[in-house]
Amino acid sequence: MFGILRPCQHRLSPALRTEWVAHLCGLCLTLRDQHGQLARAATNYDGIVVSALVEAQSDTESSRRVAGPCPLRGMRRASVAEGAGSSLAASVSLVLASAKVRDHADDGDGVLRHRSLATLARSAAGRWADRGGRTAALVRFDASVLTTAVESQAAVESALGPGDSVLAATEPTELATAAAFAHTAVLAGRPENAEPLHEVGRFFGRVAHLLDAVEDLDADRAAGVWNPLTATNTSLATARRLCDDAVRGVRWALRDVTLTRPALVHALLVHELRHAVRRTFGHASGRDGHGGHGGPGDHGDHLPYDASGSVPPPPPFVGTDGDKDSVPPPAGPDGPTPPPHDHVFVNDGDGGCCWVPKFRVPPRRRNVVLGCGVATYMCCTCQFCCRDPWPGPWSGRPHDALVDCCDGCDCCNCCD
């Protein structure tokens, strides 16, 4: 599975979590039923938004069916979404997944560097694109908009150079997602929503493309593969500004959309999209010397240490959405460079409740036996995935959450 929207149960209420799983499983089973088991690999988190948008605009009751046991649900049955929304999501997922597979084959990524495997991947991608078009026809969606955008991507990329706008590279993705989002209004019988949803999809596609470029930046540089940021000499700070602007664009355009059940869509396109930007640029901070102060939730890689070896408290920072956060100031050119693991700011004594052990500045090491006990407790209390940052059981040094999904819920009660 892939996608930029990765909500977890710590940020969604139980009711919204159930709805999200229903659309996720509905997309997966629609791909299986219409295109075979292998097509289930095209299931992605972002495709769920298309299915959720159709349901959120509809005046009728949600269309559900009972699915059998699945290992990913702990062998439990579940009520899953079906109908036109799932079919549209399946067609969009197949066409865009085919483009991603073909792109990896053309770049020779991983095992696809072998010519025979790359040929097989291109063949599978072609079949997925054709099948996605047939499924789109069932819901009266013109899939040629997607295929044309996918086919034009290579020409757009080859024409870009240093100094060009990186938004030229994101335009095909924007057009594809805008068309898919706008068609959800047609399926739901809400034609007045088509125009604002077109804008929502355009901004969403921009964010998705830019975040994908940021996540692949290091790997693309190492492999010498084309990346829109390096090709246009776009810094992480500029990419972050463009993403923040697009997130605000999604929020403002969504206000003009009439929704009968807005909770899940609001949670995904407002809160989760903003969290995706914070997560991606938090990891990318300081890679090329332009990151680290892009917005709320970002902590730079350069922390000035004082004579005692501790980190002084940073000044308050007001982000683009008015969120206050603690962002450490950049180190001076002659200042000491902190060790690479201390890329997040912590205070002495941070922690408490079940979040123990507390942080100690400077870090305190533990022996092997005590560290094993601490690691077991931290694992049982989900600190490795839900506490961000968490202290190393043996080193005591701060580390990022392993799945980076629960950095503190900034969601309001509007999604309950």
pLDDT at 6 over 60: yes
The confidence score (pLDDT) of residue 289 equals 37
Which tokens go with 77?
């049955």
Higher-confidence residue of 286 and 12: namely 12
The confidence score (pLDDT) of residue 224 equals 85
pLDDT digits (tens, 9 = 90+) for 82-98: 888 899 999 898 888 88
Contact (Cβ atoms closer than 8 angstroms) between residue 214 and residue 284? yes
Helix (H) or strand (E) holding 36: none
Of the pLDDT bands very low, low, confident and very high (cuts 50, 70, 90), residue 380 is confident
Gap between the Cα atoms of 306 and 304, Å rounded: 7
Would you give the distance in Å from CA 173 to the centre of its chain?
15
Higher-confidence residue of 225 and 164: namely 164
- In percent, the amount of the chain with pLDDT more than 90 equals 28
Which residue from 9, 28, 12 is spatially nearest to 78, judged by alpha carbons?
28
Least confident of 156-165, 248-257, 342-351, 352-361: 342-351
The confidence score (pLDDT) of residue 70 equals 83
The confidence score (pLDDT) of residue 321 equals 39
Of the pLDDT bands very low, low, confident and very high (cuts 50, 70, 90), residue 133 is confident
Higher-confidence residue of 328 and 70: namely 70
Of the pLDDT bands very low, low, confident and very high (cuts 50, 70, 90), residue 324 is very low
The confidence score (pLDDT) of residue 401 equals 66
- In percent, the amount of the chain with pLDDT more than 70 equals 80
- Whether residue 389 is preceded by a cis peptide bond, meaning omega within 30 degrees of 0, is yes
Mean pLDDT, to the nearest integer, of 249-263? 93
Q: Could you tell me what percentage of the chain is helix, strand and coil, using 3-state DSSP and rounding each to the nearest 5?
A: 55, 5, 40
Tell me the whole-structure pTM to 2 decimals: 0.69
Contact (Cβ atoms closer than 8 angstroms) between residue 378 and residue 390? yes
pLDDT at 34 over 70: yes
Tell the burial category of 155 from Cβ atoms under 10 Å away from its Cβ (0-12, 13-18, 19+).
Answer: exposed
Domains and CATH numbers, the chain: 14-284 (1.10.600.10)
The confidence score (pLDDT) of residue 416 equals 45
pLDDT digits (tens, 9 = 90+) for 276-304: 998 888 766 544 433 333 333 333 333 33
Q: Which residues contact 258 (CB under 8 A, 6 or more apart)?
A: 57, 190, 192, 193
Which tokens go with 118?
């790359």
Plot region of 353 (φ>0 → left; ψ -120 to 50 → alpha; else → beta): left
Which tokens go with 246?
């697009």
Of the pLDDT bands very low, low, confident and very high (cuts 50, 70, 90), residue 344 is low
Contact (Cβ atoms closer than 8 angstroms) between residue 20 and residue 28? no
Dihedral angle computed from the Cα positions of residues 203, 208, 209 and 214, in that order, rounded to the nearest 10 degrees: 130
